[in-house]
Structure 1
């Protein structure tokens, strides 16, 4: 089975700082203490097993916020090393668009050949268990002004948010129709125990899908379903594909975070089982071509 994986993370604890791994704890996404070890390209390639990884995209791993460009510098050196097969082929770098130095950071990231976009986690939730950032960045003037700079560098924006934020995100996408937005983790449907929660996810995803410049990664589902099965993932996968269409959806692993809940091969084979009735062209789009096109790799 051949895949392009558009959402992986690497880290080297010997040489770099990752504050979230300095004193890791347990949260709704699992036990971060199990992740407090180096996870390098060789480790990823070992995890792939019988899955043929053609290319991959690294998404920022919450590196030291004092020097986000250093993570990109390191990742480019990994990609440039002999035997790396140019992996990670694409880099989604970290930036705080609310910071005064955002323009400088974007310019720093843009200097590296494999940089394709940036991510800033946006998740806000009324329940502290699920809240990541505690502020509504998309409503802030400086953040929105710096968001405009992405066009200058041909950078996409990986958007990690909750359903309650999707209406605002759709408005942002419409205001910046020439910037590619990519929703992470199928929209992080976290409020699963109510009809209202499902409707918020469904309607929010539909609002985002109305924007031609928004795509979605089907990934991270295990963060909300630690005992997942093919059948438990199926409705979220199919609803996401139905909403965005085969042309704007792509599968991704979220490794090594989702490694806590299953092997790399089991995850990809589960995706394959769910879309087994799709055409070969549709499967090729979902597993390979969309990621290549959207991340220009």
Structure 2
């Protein structure tokens, strides 16, 4: 792989509702040809960013189990798109199951895309559940800008993460805001760029 290529992403988000789906078809994660391609990433040292909906989290857990040497990063908290109690419970259960796989990390990002009327209190349980499932070593914050800019400013996104994690230790904040991403994506970024909460 090229020196500055650290991984790839495939958007596999599929829903029975055509208006909500991003993937061309369901079941891509079980496709033998697709899996053959995925199987080549680890030997090049490439991570795989996985974007799926909650209904696909169990399938993603099977995928991660089948490729134990592959580093996966679940994007956007697993896309908690269904905001009713049943939908959020399905997301919580699926996320916890996927987190059982040690080769999966989570990117806490673009939550405002799934909660257009968001508040700190609506984001807080989502963020904290992600951290609870994946722990302080496999969770990281991401802005998802410019896409997230459709629903919030960068400062609003960053400040919400800062407030939600205010009770964590400095080392835990450093891991979430910088250290875990640098380690998981193998970034030679030196020290923290001064983005930690003051």
| Fold equivalence (TM over 0.5) | yes
User: Which position in structure 1 is the counterpart of 2:105?
Assistant: 215
User: Out of 254, 261, 266, which is 2:151 matched to?
Assistant: 261
SS at match of 1:149: coil
User: Which position in structure 2 is the counterpart of 1:280?
Assistant: 170
Cα deviation digits, residues 83-105 of structure 1 (max 9, x gap): xxxxxxxxxxxxxxxxxxxxxxx
Q: Tell me the CA shift for residue 141 of structure 1.
A: 1.1
Cα deviation digits, residues 120-171 of structure 1 (max 9, x gap): 1101101122111131211211111111101121111000001111111111
Q: Tell me the CA shift for residue 206 of structure 1.
A: 0.8
In the alignment, does 2:61 pair up with 1:140?
Answer: no
Cα deviation digits, residues 161-208 of structure 1 (max 9, x gap): 01111111111111111110000000001111242x122211111111
User: Which position in structure 2 is the counterpart of 1:224?
Assistant: 114
SS at match of 1:120: strand
In the alignment, does 2:66 pair up with 1:175?
Answer: yes
Q: Distance in 1 between matches of 2:153 and 2:37?
A: 39
User: Out of 136, 141, 147, which is 1:246 matched to?
Assistant: 136
Q: Distance in 1 between matches of 2:23 and 2:179?
A: 33
In the alignment, does 2:17 pair up with 1:127?
Answer: yes
In the alignment, does 2:55 pair up with 1:164?
Answer: yes
Q: Compute the TM-score of the two structures, normalised by the length of structure 2.
A: 0.91
Q: Distance in 1 between matches of 2:156 and 2:82?
A: 26
Cα deviation digits, residues 199-235 of structure 1 (max 9, x gap): 2211111111000000000001011112322112111
Q: Compute the TM-score of the two structures, normalised by the length of structure 1.
A: 0.61
Q: Distance in 1 between matches of 2:43 and 2:133?
A: 30
User: Which position in structure 2 is the counterpart of 1:186?
Assistant: 77
Q: Which has the higher contact order (CA 8 A, sep 6+)?
A: 1
Choose between structure 1 and 2: higher strand proportion: 1
Gapped regions of structure 2 (runs ≥ 5): 188-198
Which moved further from structure 2: 247-256 or 136-145?
A: 136-145
In the alignment, does 2:40 pair up with 1:149?
Answer: yes
Q: Tell me the CA shift for residue 271 of structure 1.
A: 0.3
Count of aligned residue pairs for this structure pair:
186
In the alignment, does 2:124 pair up with 1:234?
Answer: yes
Q: Distance in 2 between matches of 1:266 and 1:164?
A: 29
Q: Distance in 2 between matches of 1:266 and 1:123?
A: 26
